[in-house]
Amino acid sequence: MIDMLPSFGGFLGTFGAFILALSIIVAIHEYGHYIVGRWCGIHAEVFSLGFGPVLFSTFDKHGTRWQLAALPFGGYVKFLGDADAASGKDGSQISEMTPEEAKRTMHGAALWRRSATVAAGPVFNFILSIVVFAGVMWTQGVAVETPTVGSLKTLPQEQSALQEGDEILAVDGKEVADFGELFTLTDTLDLGPVEYTVRRDGEVTEVTGPFPMPARIDQIHPKSAAMDVGLEVGDVIQTIEGKPITAFRELRQIVEVSEGRPLLMSVWRDGKTFDVTLVPQRRDLPLPEGGFETRYLIGVSGGLFFEPLTETPGPFEAVGYGIQQTWSIVKSSLSGLAHIVTGAISSCNLQGPLGIAETSGAAASQGVQSFVWFIAVLSTAVGLLNLFPVPVLDGGHLVFHAYEAVVGKPPTDRALRVFFAVGLAFIVTLMVFALSNDIFCP
């Protein structure tokens, strides 16, 4: 991982990471509205990144004013005939236009053109997510089918018996055909060093190596107990409450049954040992089959004792992975929201701007890849949120367009003003609620 600026752990770094992530996501979202609107013949008067006083602006050859404003907490595209950034109708301006000029507005263009322009913002957010996820897979590569050692990770114990390029055929006499079988096997293997059957330079041999998934930290999750006490990727947990542990599954099991009690851990890092006390946090986690389960966590993920040998995926495989990952986030987000509304899980799972900012800073502190991944996740969330059928959001506009398609005419201007006022009140209430979660939830 490439580190970002050292200051990313502090307030300025967190704020900067949040603004950078938000600016990228907003710029892509609004550009979707702009470019599709232009393709549909709808003229954009202003493309603004940020709100408030204008710091810089310039006009392009299409007559659109591109500007950077002082408050970097969003952005907007103001189309011809709009009264405001929320695309409210400027009736007086439109009434003075010729029929041909009115067709270049967001209120006089054909319905399908307006709908395409509105939907483009969220769609571009999803496209950004897919591209990022696919790009990460492309640069990281995918593990070859047969479990093969790419490089060995640093551990306290000697592991020179295994070498780079070794193909793992069996573990303690149990055959493994792929990584899925290897991961499954780690739940039932006896603890301690194991015997590996490997193919090396064309010959099959037996070697002794560490437990496949040692109690080594491969990932630190943002806003977690592990991050709070300064644990790092590569740390190895050697004891918990004085009890020696070998495997990551032991760490997971002890934390899960802790009921939130503080745990004293002895940690190995770069040849030195130190103690930390962590307090496991209660979290609601999405299940693959749907729904949620509540578990105690310290915010770490483990992995194999080696980095797998990888190969570059094909473009279709990478894009397919990006689509799958984006859809997975959409499904888990909708499921989580439904469970919050029904009271099945805590409403504290809903983060506000402070929580998102803290998460963005934590992601940035772990490196470029982690931060870029966070941007993709947040972009999916922003795209999904904007599709909710709430007036002032893109989804609300699409509902009005659907009404117009069925009835044959749009809602009256008075009705729209009422709907927008209600929608704005709902959004403000939701933001206040989420902000209170950031402040008061543990």
Tokens of 286: 């999405």
Q: What's the farthest any 2 CA atoms get from each other in the chain?
A: 86
Residues 6+ away with beta carbon under 8 Å from 302: 213, 214, 215, 216, 217, 218, 248, 251, 252
Sign of CA dihedral 210, 213, 218, 223: negative
Q: What are the residues facing 197 on neighbouring strands? A: 170, 206
Beta carbons within 10 angstroms of residue 318's beta carbon: 22
**What are the E-state strand segments in 300-434?**
300-301, 306-308, 310-311
Residue 153, classified by CB atoms within 10 Å of its CB into exposed (0-12), middle (13-18) or buried (19+), is: middle
Cβ count within 10 A of residue 262 = 11
Instruction: Give which of 207, 211, 203, 215 is closest to 163, Cα–Cα.
Output: 207
Distance CA 250, CA 214 (A): 9
CA distance 383 to 120: 10
Cβ-proximal residues to 187 (8 Å cutoff; 6+ apart), any chain: 249
Active-site hit among 30, 45, 96, 259: 30
Amino acid making up residue 201: D
Active site residue 167: no
Measure the CA–CA gap between 263 and 253, rounded to whole angstroms.
Answer: 13
Is the separation of the CB atoms in 441 and 431 below 8 Å? no
Q: Of the candidates 141, 147, 145, which has an alpha carbon nearest to the alpha carbon of residue 321?
A: 141
Please give the DSSP secondary-structure letter assigned to residue 247: B
Residue with tokens 């709430």: 390
Residue 239 Cα to chain centre, angstroms:
32
**CA-based nearest residue to 237, from 249, 257, 226, 251:** 251
Quote the CA–CA distance of 93 and 107 in Å, as a whole number. Answer: 11
Strand partners, 59: 65
Is residue 426 a contact partner of residue 390, using CB atoms and an 8 Å limit?
Answer: yes
Instruction: Match 């590996």 to its residue by tokens.
Output: 196
Task: Write out the catalytic residue numbers.
Answer: 30
